[in-house]
A and B are shown apart, each in its own frame.
Chain A
């Protein structure tokens, strides 16, 4: 029963992290290149554009949900399993989600990178 809870918790963390990353990435694409925007209309326009974007706040909410579900998952399972597993599965999940929802061209080199980085993070945190 305990491993089931732990892995269930890990999957919830991964789900909310991926949703948060995708929403924030989409929101920032809607805002546009902040360097150009800054040069054209100043810092406060950039801040205003970001803070008036509803997708951005949904993304921040999802990231907060990911943070709190991580706290719960950590109380069910070992840190040495939960933290690296959640971090590396988030890399893989993001590669899939970015391809489907953000229409990024996730070519072979990006797939290899996602797998390598996921493995590396798992080893470093483990």
Chain B
């Protein structure tokens, strides 16, 4: 794992959560859209929050596909939920909103889940086209730190 790859994973989590919440905020301003009034979608896109949310979700998709090119799906997916933890922390400590005990439980579960996966290897599937050396022979989770070091040193 190089520093650049950690940046991509950070992008996955931040863009997903920020994009979703901007979109949700904007859609609450524009009101509900029904199948009979599809022109409402076009009006919604003109809302700056909705437009910003779409841009962030496109950025998420770029980071997500980028990460999937060198890491397992089961490694990248927990990262997509980590952003919601960040959002809740921002809500609590920057915006001074109330965060319910249920939500704190959710934050704890997601953080625990992510830390479980992050300790292991990023790539375990075999049929990777032209992969970096660290991916090819990482049989057990214990092999990850050493191989991550060597691939980091290469750059």
Contacts and interface: CB of A to CB of B under 8 A. Distances in A.
B77 A36 contact: no
Instruction: Kindly name the residue among A24, A28, A95 whose own CB sees the greatest number of chain B CB atoms within 10 A.
Output: A28
A124 interface: yes
A120 B68 contact: no
Nearest to B99: A124
A113 B74 CA distance: 9
Nearest to A59: B65
Contacts of A102: 72-73, 125
A78 interface: no
Instruction: Kindly name the residue among B70, B74, B105, B132 whose own CB sees the greatest number of chain A CB atoms within 10 A.
Output: B74
Q: Range of interface residues on chain A?
A: 35 or more
A70 B70 CA distance: 29
B73 A98 contact: yes
B1 to A, nearest CB: 11
Interface residues of B, number: 44
Instruction: Kindly name the residue among B81, B113, B119 whose own CB sees the greatest number of chain A CB atoms within 10 A.
Output: B113
B114 interface: yes
Nearest to B33: A71
A116 B110 contact: yes
Instruction: Kindly name the residue among A24, A112, A116 whose own CB sees the greatest number of chain B CB atoms within 10 A.
Output: A116
B92 interface: no
A104 B65 contact: no
Interface of B: 2, 4-5, 64-66, 68-70, 72-75, 77-78, 81, 84, 88, 102-103, 105-114, 116-117, 119-120, 124-132, 141
13 contacts: A25-B72, A28-B65, A28-B68, A109-B116, A109-B119, A110-B75, A113-B74, A117-B109, A120-B105, A120-B109, A121-B84, A123-B102, A124-B88
